[in-house]
């Protein structure tokens, strides 16, 4: 079926919400449940329903990829630098950080599964877009230097650029808008 080239080439699993708790006293069961449901379980269910449309090992991909596309299918799940345990210097944002750490973890698991199912025909990665001027970050626009607060258009341009240039040896890990790895 997918030898025709009619398979997913690029997939962006984007959902995310943020309740910016500063201390454990602010943790709320309903908000915690909602955060994990959207940020971590959301991408997992997208994987469940859409990975059947990725190329398998048997799929014959064209020798020359379509202009602007990488030579393999790429599944990107939106993580965030604050999901990095290594990078966590400030604390806070308990639920968001943990839900995004989960995203980086499930991206790795998906990539390991794809190695078996798709070989080099499909890979998964997690991504950090920088700080982007959207509703999610609105409360913090004032505390970010102007040049570090990206427009959504610029963020998308950067994201597509990273995905287009991603190499197979980079698979399964989290990359930022500059193409620099975000450690788990
Ligand atoms: N903005 C930043 O600075 C920043 C930094 C790092 C990471 N991120 C991540 O980037 C991603 C996009 O966020 P954004 O900044 O573009 O914020 P946004 O404009 O608020 O977008 C949030 C996204 O999540 C989806 N979503 C929210 N609730 C949902 C639900 N119940 N079911 C399904 N989808 C739902 C929205 O879908 P609809 O459009 O259909 O509502 C939208 O695509 C998120 O994963 C976020 O964590 C953002």
Binding site membership of 24 for ligand 1 (Cβ less than 6 Å): no
Binding site membership of 38 for ligand 1 (Cβ less than 6 Å): yes
Ligand 1 atom nearest to CA at 152: 16
- pLDDT tens for 21-50 read 999 999 999 999 999 999 999 999 999 999
Binding site membership of 102 for ligand 1 (Cβ less than 6 Å): no
127 DSSP 8-state letter: E
Cβ atoms of 136 and 183 within 8 Å: the answer is no
- pLDDT tens for 127-138 read 999 999 999 999
Per-residue tokens: 141: 């626009």
pLDDT over 70 percentage in the chain: 97
Binding site membership of 133 for ligand 1 (Cβ less than 6 Å): no
Ligand 1 atom nearest to CA at 79: 7
* pLDDT above 70 for 4: no
When pLDDT is averaged across residues 91-119 and rounded to a whole number, the result is 98
Shortest-distance Cα residue to atom 1 of ligand 1: 132
pLDDT at res. 64 = 86
Strand partners, 175: 127, 181
pLDDT at res. 65 = 84
Candidate of 136, 137, 153 to mutate for ligand 1, largest count of ligand atoms within 8 Å of Cβ: 136
Q: Which residue has the higher pLDDT, 39 or 2?
A: 39
Domains, the chain, with CATH or none: 2-182 (3.40.50.720)
- Torsion of the alpha carbons at 46, 74, 83 and 96, rounded to the nearest 10: -30
* pLDDT above 60 for 79: yes
Q: Which residue has the higher pLDDT, 66 or 10?
A: 10
- pLDDT tens for 156-174 read 999 999 999 999 999 999 9
Strand order of the β-sheet with 10-13 is 10-13, 73-78, 122-128, 174-176, 181-182
Shortest-distance Cα residue to atom 34 of ligand 1: 15
Binding site membership of 131 for ligand 1 (Cβ less than 6 Å): yes
């Amino acid at each position: 079926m997918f030898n025709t080239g009619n398979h997913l080439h690029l997939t962006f699993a984007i959902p995310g919400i943020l309740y910016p708790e500063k201390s454990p006293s602010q943790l709320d069961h309903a908000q915690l449940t909602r955060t994990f449901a959207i940020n971590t379980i959301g991408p997992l269910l997208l994987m469940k329903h859409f990975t059947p449309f990725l190329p398998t090992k048997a799929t014959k991909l064209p020798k020359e990829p379509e202009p602007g596309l990488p030579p393999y299918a790429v599944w990107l799940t939106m993580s965030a630098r604050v999901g990095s345990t290594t990078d966590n210097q400030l604390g806070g944002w308990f639920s968001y950080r943990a839900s995004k750490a989960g995203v980086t973890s499930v991206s790795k698991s998906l990539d390991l599964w794809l190695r078996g199912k798709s070989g080099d025909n499909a890979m998964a990665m997690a991504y950090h877009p920088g700080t982007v001027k959207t509703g999610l970050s609105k409360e913090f626009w004032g505390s970010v230097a102007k040049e570090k607060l990206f427009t959504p258009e610029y963020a998308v341009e950067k994201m597509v650029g990273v995905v287009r240039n991603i190499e197979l040896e980079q698979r399964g890990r989290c990359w930022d808008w500059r193409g620099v790895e975000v450690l788990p």
